[in-house]
Amino acid sequence: MAKTSQIQINVKLNDDNHPIGIEWKSDDNPSGTGLQSAKAMMLSLFDKEYKDTFKIDLWTEELQVIEMDRFVYQALKSMGDTYFKATNNTKLANDIQRFAQYFGEETETIKKEG
């Protein structure tokens, strides 16, 4: 029998509809079942029927540029891993990882190699 798991995302908005708080929880979160705070989120859903991607990218006013750099670096690395797991395409997965490395070095999120 299939299991259903829920992910809940709450976004608190200011009067201009800009995010000032992001909280989330998941039934399967190993860290617990309570709401956890976040400063940014990227959600991408691939539509089954239309074969198009629906995206929601949000960040709070308190997110600093250095934090956004780290967030994007980690997301790029994760995308490379996900792409490889889904496709077994080593070449393109490695290309994504190389770009993530470049991005991390250029933003000084990580130290340059060599």
Question: Which of the residue ranges 9-23, 26-40, 96-110 would you say has the lowest mean pLDDT?
Answer: 26-40
3 state DSSP class of 28: coil
The span from the CA of 77 to the CA of 104, in Å, is 10
pLDDT at 87: 98
| Sequence-separated (6 or more) residues with CB below 8 Å from residue 106 | none
Q: What are residue 19's DSSP bridge partners?
A: 13
Query: What is the chain's alpha carbon radius of gyration, rounded to the nearest angstrom?
Result: 17
**Is the pLDDT reported for residue 53 higher than 90?**
yes
**Is the pLDDT reported for residue 31 higher than 90?**
no
pTM of the prediction?
0.90
pLDDT at 30: 80
